[in-house]
Amino acid sequence: MGIVLGPNRYGKAETRVVRVYRDGARHSLQDLNVSVALSGALDATHLTGDNSQVLPTDSQKNTVYAFARSHGIGSAEEFGLLLARHFVDSQPSITRARVGIEQYDWQRLGPHSFQRDGSATRTATVRYDGERAEVIAGVTGLVLLNATDSEFRGYVHDPYTTLPETGDRILATAVDATWRYADADAEPAVGTGAADGGWDGAYAAVRAALVAAFTGTYSRSLQQTLYAMGQRVLTERPDVVEVRLALPNKHHLLVDLSPFGLDNPNTVFVAADRPYGLIEGTVTRDDAPPPLGEW
């Protein structure tokens, strides 16, 4: 039985870069966390320690900083495409690049003052194999809650079931969503919820569609809500071919106030952080092109 080297990659993870644009008295900024992963003809460094085909991860970090200055950061997606294409096209030994970006938003307080927006984090993952590029945008930690219009009943009861059925419950989640664009080289179109086109406008439109579907769906299960959210995005955004969602069920449990002589008509709850249900799913077009895949 032989031993062989399997799939592998390497890169610089979590390079933090803040780019300030000093346009007169009114400044703006982009705040990113950039992770690069490269793969290709790299067997020798694993098998013999020959590093002649290895671009140091420190050089990858420096490229992020240099490109932030020389090219600027128009959007997370645009910056990711720029970096991924550079690493593959400039290094003969590198055949694939993956650039993952977290973008942290700031609220403007004045011409040059900002407050960090901690409600959610924008994400983008770019893959490039020398011929084809792929853009997957996303958002993590988008906390949403419906105080009513949610029920959960009619489920399987087995010997270990103690959960009571309910026709009126709080539905809360922290959305982790990613969506894949049909064409990384095409400028995203203007869509519902976006004032303009481009990657920023597309992100705003998809996020608005996710929120609108969550708030506007009478939910009989979080699974139903998940599908409604993905369906809404694909209906409104012809440039998106796939939506992946992970929705933790942030349970809000009714507090028993009877020991204190008080009723509780669905008004006082304890927010439990764990354990929690986790609902995951993909909503896709039946003619969606295959993804470049994980590597």
**Residues carrying an active site annotation:** 12, 57, 251
The SS3 assignment for 141 reads: strand
For residue 85, the SS3 value is helix
Q: How many other CB atoms are there within 10 angstroms of residue 277's CB atom? A: 13
What span, in angstroms and rounded, lies between the C-alpha atoms of 133 and 130?
8
Q: Please report, for residues 124, 240, 290, the alpha-carbon distance to residue 203 in angstroms, rounded to integers and kept in the order given.
A: 10, 11, 22
| Rounded-to-integer distance, Cα 78 and Cα 72, Å | 10
DSSP-derived pairing of the beta strands 277-284 and 121-128: unpaired
In the DSSP assignment, the letter for residue 242 is E
Closest to 31 (Cα-Cα) out of 114, 115, 104, 107: 104
Beta carbons of 97 and 87 less than 8 angstroms apart: yes
- Report how far residue 159's alpha carbon sits from residue 279's, in angstroms, rounded to the nearest whole number: 23
Are 91 and 45 in contact by the 8 Å Cβ rule? The answer is: no
The Cα-based distances of 77 to 113, 152, 199 in angstroms read: 25, 38, 7
Residue whose tokens read 């105080």: 147
Q: Give the three-state DSSP class for 153.
A: coil
Q: Please state, in angstroms and rounded to a whole number, the distance separating the CA atoms of residues 290 and 131.
A: 15
Residue that the structure tokens 């992770």 belong to:
35
